[in-house]
Structure 1
Amino acid sequence: MPTTVPSPDLPRTRALRANKLGALWAVVGRAMSDAMQAHSESSVAILLWLYHWAPVGVVELGRVVGLSQPACSRAVDKLMAEGLLLKAPSGGREVWLELSPEGRARAEELQAARLRACDRLLAALSPQERSTMADLLDKLLAAPVADRAYARHVCRFCDHGVCDGPACPVGCRATELEARQRSDGA
């Protein structure tokens, strides 16, 4: 019989729900890993972020992706060696990056694979359940947003052509917080 670790701060029902949410992370994570083909998570995030927001400097890219500047530079060097990234003129000292035509095609492939993998997971739900899930995801995604930097990190894999403006609960929450900070400071 399995040994259970008691959760003194959560009643059993809440602990069970939290446990299932953690298991969902593993399921989604596996689907995402399979969709990434031979690329690392950080490389995919770099390609997808640059697809929507290039040109971007290495320092900003590292913040978004969650890598130190040296680690981001190494990932960028690898992607450049594969012919997926190009240096762009910045007008300053920092190196700006953009996708090569091959990088753009790879980013499109990766994004399509990512969306298909997640859509396959949602196929287990009825249309009504998918609608309910979408509403619940909006709440869960917006709740922890503390600032724009966090929002960018959460959305580093997103298809910003699909999820933008009012369709993005993460970006909307960051915008709401920024507006509140401006009004509090005025």
Structure 2
Amino acid sequence: MDFITILFIGIGLAMDASAVSLAKGMSLDKDQVKKCAFILALAFGFFQALMPAIGYYAGSHFAEYIQSIDHWIAFILLSLIGINMIREGKEEKENEVKIHSIPFKDILLLAIATSIDALAVGVSFAFLKVNLFLAITTIGITTFILSFVCVLFGKKLGCLFEKYAEYLGGIILILLGIRILIEHLFF
């Protein structure tokens, strides 16, 4: 598998993380956006690189088990975090407080939820004899860059929709979870 193909796989895998980054960026405090963007992008890039490595070594039996429930795990995690964002948006509206950081547990859950599909990709890499180091490095860096940029872009959008940024971010996460669920159940 050539580098360009791996790069496009990395971009495809990074789309969920990018959408989540955009949603989270909308609600961040202006003073903390770059720090949070770096931390979020680092977590997403790390897990997007880690999951194919795990899949590569775990083999197809483990991937078949995960593939049967990965969409449910992603749907539940993204929906719960989205509902929490909407709830926080309501509290924020009442208290007029911006989010200064993203809790570690949310970062961890989001990183796992958006990278579960990469596990199965890792299994396919093993069958195709892909250079694992090149693949996980490319996927990780691609996800990091796209996620970082999307947090910054999300902040710009958040400034436009400041009153509703938390609601919009939460809705995006829930819709992303629903999309993942529908794609896996029906396509």
The two structures have a TM-score, normalised by structure 1, of 0.31
Higher strand share: 1
Higher helix share: 2
The two structures have a TM-score, normalised by structure 2, of 0.31
Question: Higher Cα Rg: structure 1 or 2?
Answer: 1
